[in-house]
Structure 1
Amino acid sequence: MFKKKVFSFPFLVSFFLLVFFSSCFAQGANVPESDQQISEFSLSGYGEKGKKDWDLSGKSADIVREIVKMKEVEGNLYGQEEDIKLTADQGDFNKADGKVHLRDNVVVTTSSGAKLTTDSLDWDRKAQTVTTDDDVNIERQNMVTVARGVRGEPNLKKIALEKDVRVDINPSRASRDEEQLKALASKEKITITCDGPLEINYEKNIATFNNNVKVERADSLIYSDKMEVFFVASKGADKSRQPQVNSIDKIIASGNVKIVRGSNTSYSEEAVYTTLDSKITLTGRPKLIIYSAEDFKNASIGN
């Protein structure tokens, strides 16, 4: 005969608790780990002599493994010459490598007056770079630049705009009232477009446009494969402040250069335009098709 087994009540309770927690653990294994949720998040870095170099903060932060997901993100870089501020609606901070991915209403501003806006941006604090493949808009004093994709320094002094570049250089506001600006807008405004990239170095006061470059001025059009624009540096100016970028010293266009002035057209391998005397010098087997003798005053032929 079989003996009837009787289980005690404590044993049954322990058994069902074991089954319950084992089931919970098995189900939780397929759910992404969420370490904790916090209402605010802040992190700071300090350099020599305890001076703050940078900080990062956000609200409603969710910490998932190595990623801190934040809302209302604000980051700051504190430099010797100027400070940089980055803001966005949302952002992810990677605790492992210190990189930050910002998205939605991303804005970068510098204490020298530059401003970049875009939909998303990757900020590598250690490498001191900001990058994006999205459309960007950059405003610096009297120059507005739009393009697709950017790589550069957070202070925006050295940047490369990747594709579909358009730059509008407007008359300087210095010592001019609104009426003067309106009168000069159509005359002095310069628009430069290119397929990209556009490389800008404000420390050396030079911008290099590449591929299918076009310059539009009130009285002329200039086409070329490449174009270098040199700006005039302000004498005795604070290094943290940038020169007025429509203070152009000269423009060097190279490669399949074509200049159109009214009904007159010229071709060359290189053209140098100097703003001091408003003179264009053509070199490299230039060919001129000129219908007005008046235009000879504004052009000279080199070797």
Structure 2
Amino acid sequence: MRKFLIYIFIFHFFPLFLIAQEGNQAEQLSLAGYTPDGHKKWDLLADVAQIFPGKKDITLKKPKGTLYEKGEPNLHLKATSGTYAPDTGHVFLQEDVHLKTNEGSDLQTSDLFWDSKKSLLKMKNDIQIVKENNMISGKNMTIHKNKNRATIEKNVTLKNFNKHANEHPSVITCSGKMEFNYDEDFVELFDNVSIVDPRLNLRADYMKIFFDRITQKLDRVLCQGNVMINQDLKKAMGEMAEYDVSDGAVYLTGNPKVLKNNHILTAENITFFLNKEEVLCEPSAQLVLFFSEEDRDFFNI
């Protein structure tokens, strides 16, 4: 079988010209796509490329791809095998797929679909992302590279590790999706969101979680809808909350309540301190005592 070198350059998505014949095997494949203003948008390399009789797609061995932003590389792909469809610009990567960003994220999965024209990447199977002190796992992930936006649809779990402290990681889960930008230091989680932290358990319908830009540790959490907090013997609830992780304080609003032992504290705003036995209620603070389960049911506790 004759071996040769294939170079394909695609300008402005005009029809490409492929120097190849059916059954031929190339020692190396090199493709590139460019924006209308001449900046490189992507490239694709492979150690071996082959076109089989009756097939339009090019089979790739050890493919490597790069996506560019303003002519500079910022997302890198590699896999054990894959295919390239010249008529659509679609790339399918399989087996030991890795994706790395300039921001330090390292993603692993079993297969990946890449629409080179739309800068769209999709992964249907399980994914795992590692960045600094964070590990994210889930299923059905989509990356819109033009928007630097990513979504994980199912089985979302985020673990935030504190490498400088001898404690368990913070574990964050949700029943819905997680969304995040690669160039931002926050993630958004939807539907029955839960944080199991060494200091508290926190639940809400929606959370926006911010990370420290340098250490990537949890910094601040904004919660909306049916907020519930459990810490030792204390329980708190409200419609909205802000959890300041470094200060160890939770600020509750929206008909907030704090329950401990035989009393309930209510106010317009409640500050729930995690590191000390102190709760700040203001204004319109009230203390309600109860002595039976019927009393608790009255306050929906």
Task: Note whether the superposition's TM-score is higher than 0.5.
Answer: yes
Q: Quick one: structure 1 residues 100 and 302, their matched pair in 2 at CA, closer, same or farther if it must change by over 3 Å? A: farther
* Equivalent residue, structure 2, for 1:225: 205
Counterpart AA for 1:228 = K
Alpha carbons 2:160, 2:218 under 8 Å: kept:
no
What per-residue deviation string (whole Å, max 9, x for no partner) do you get for residues 222-252 of structure 1? 011111112345xxxxxxxxx432151x211
What per-residue deviation string (whole Å, max 9, x for no partner) do you get for residues 21-40 of structure 1? xxxxxxxxxxxxx8222133
Unaligned runs of 5+ in 1: 1-33, 173-180, 234-242
What per-residue deviation string (whole Å, max 9, x for no partner) do you get for residues 122-180 of structure 1? 111221121111000011121110001101145995211111111111226xxxxxxxx
Counterpart AA for 1:119 = S
Over 6 Å off, 4+ runs: none
When you count strand as a share of all residues, which structure comes out higher?
2
Unaligned runs of 5+ in 2: 1-20, 263-272, 285-301
Alpha carbons 1:131, 1:151 under 8 Å: kept:
yes
Equivalent-residue separation in structure 1 for 2:180 and 2:85 (angstroms): 30
Q: Quick one: structure 1 residues 51 and 258, their matched pair in 2 at CA, closer, same or farther if it must change by over 3 Å? A: closer
* Equivalent residue, structure 2, for 1:261: 231
Alpha carbons 1:281, 1:301 under 8 Å: kept:
no
Equivalent-residue separation in structure 1 for 2:283 and 2:44 (angstroms): 56
* Equivalent residue, structure 2, for 1:101: 92
* Equivalent residue, structure 2, for 1:134: 125
* Equivalent residue, structure 1, for 2:26: 39
Alpha carbons 1:129, 1:154 under 8 Å: kept:
yes
Shift of 1:66: 2.6
After superposing the two structures, state which structure 1 stretch, 144-153 or 265-274, moved more. Answer: 265-274
Q: Quick one: structure 1 residues 202 and 101, their matched pair in 2 at CA, closer, same or farther if it must change by over 3 Å? A: closer
Alpha carbons 1:84, 1:155 under 8 Å: kept:
no
Alpha carbons 1:278, 1:298 under 8 Å: kept:
no
Is 1:152 the counterpart of 2:122 in the alignment? Answer: no
Is 1:54 the counterpart of 2:45 in the alignment? Answer: no
Counterpart AA for 1:265 = K
What per-residue deviation string (whole Å, max 9, x for no partner) do you get for residues 30-87 of structure 1? xxxx822213322223458876443212244232443111121111223346532211
- Secondary structure, counterpart of 2:64 in structure 1: strand
Match of 2:256 among 265, 269, 286: 286
Equivalent-residue separation in structure 2 for 1:185 and 1:213 (angstroms): 25
Alpha carbons 1:147, 1:166 under 8 Å: kept:
yes
Shift of 1:114: 1.2
Equivalent-residue separation in structure 2 for 1:127 and 1:120 (angstroms): 18
- Secondary structure, counterpart of 1:135 in structure 2: strand
Equivalent-residue separation in structure 2 for 1:100 and 1:185 (angstroms): 44
Equivalent-residue separation in structure 1 for 2:238 and 2:22 (angstroms): 66
* Equivalent residue, structure 1, for 2:154: 163
Alpha carbons 1:44, 1:56 under 8 Å: kept:
yes
Equivalent-residue separation in structure 2 for 1:91 and 1:134 (angstroms): 16
- Secondary structure, counterpart of 2:24 in structure 1: strand
Equivalent-residue separation in structure 2 for 1:126 and 1:231 (angstroms): 32
**TM-score, normalization: structure 1?**
0.73
* Equivalent residue, structure 2, for 1:190: 170
When you count helix as a share of all residues, which structure comes out higher?
1
Shift of 1:298: 5.2
Equivalent-residue separation in structure 1 for 2:146 and 2:98 (angstroms): 12
Alpha carbons 2:209, 2:218 under 8 Å: kept:
no
* Equivalent residue, structure 2, for 1:275: 245
Is 1:63 the counterpart of 2:51 in the alignment? Answer: yes
Is 1:117 the counterpart of 2:87 in the alignment? Answer: no
Aligned residues between the structures: 249
* Equivalent residue, structure 2, for 1:252: 222
Q: Quick one: structure 1 residues 158 and 244, their matched pair in 2 at CA, closer, same or farther if it must change by over 3 Å? A: farther
| Superposed CA RMSD | 2.9
Structure with bigger RCO (C-alpha 8 Å, 6+ apart) = 1
Equivalent-residue separation in structure 1 for 2:131 and 2:211 (angstroms): 14
- Select the structure of larger CA radius of gyration: 1
Match of 1:83 among 68, 74, 97: 74
- Secondary structure, counterpart of 2:278 in structure 1: helix
What per-residue deviation string (whole Å, max 9, x for no partner) do you get for residues 78-109 of structure 1? 33465322111111101011110111111011
